[in-house]
Amino acid sequence: MDSIRKTASRLLAGLLLGALTACASATEADFAINETPKKLEVEWSRMTHLVDFEPRKAELAENTKAELAAFLDQNYASPDDLILINPGKVSGDRQSIFEARGRAVQNFVADLGYVSEVLPSRSEVEGFVIVAVEHYDVRVPACPDWRRNPPLTNGVSSNFGCTDAVNLGLMLADPRDLVTGRELGPMDGTAAASAVERYREGEVKELQIEATSDEDSN
């Protein structure tokens, strides 16, 4: 009889211990394990080339033209790339010479079929015009990522929103827009004024609601 009581007591103690363990309160960390979300990565690169000029001259030599053309042919990848021209260091009364050099380089670049922009001189290099090609590229994340089993938590999976990020990266015409954006163009004044006039005169068209049916698809 005593042995039966001891056995029953041990079983009851084990059950109580298991119940207490199961009812232990979970910490906030147990339910807040969020994986790092997958995002687009924008890579920026800049290649520069020094255009040499003879002292107090603003004309491009033939060998200088050939070197500049080769540089652009090698580093210009798409119309979204930026070609920036820095006239070089400006000192004394030679402002006009540096400006003429910048125009000469820009005109030659235009003859090659490229669009460029002449910047205000910010360089300490004297006697050279600096031509830079800036390129932006976007890297899309790999989706989905099932290298390990999903954890049994309430955390957000890294796959959440990953497809949206990939689609955005593939739709971008210019990856630079993810970094700096671009200025909005001027609004069509005629169209904008007509919309306001229609609204004030009560001539705004009502939204057309079309009935849809899947009967024809069967």
Taking the C-alpha atoms of residue 52 and residue 128, their distance in angstroms, rounded to an integer, is 5
Mean pLDDT of 179-203: 81
As a whole number of angstroms, the distance between CA 73 and CA 114 comes to 10
Q: What is the pLDDT of residues 5-63, one digit of tens each?
A: 656 566 655 655 555 454 445 555 555 566 778 888 888 999 999 998 888 888 999 99
Residue 87: what pLDDT? 86
Q: What are phi and psi of 17, to 5 degrees?
A: -65, -40
Helix or strand holding residue 196 (H, E): helix 189-200
SS3 95: helix
- Domains recognised in the chain with CATH numbers: 47-133 (3.30.1330.60)
Question: DSSP string covering 54-93, please?
Answer: -TT--PPPHHHHHHHHHHHHHH--STTSEEEEE-----TT
Q: How many residues does the chain have?
A: 218
pLDDT at 54: 85
Q: How far apart are CA 199 and CA 195, in angstroms?
A: 6
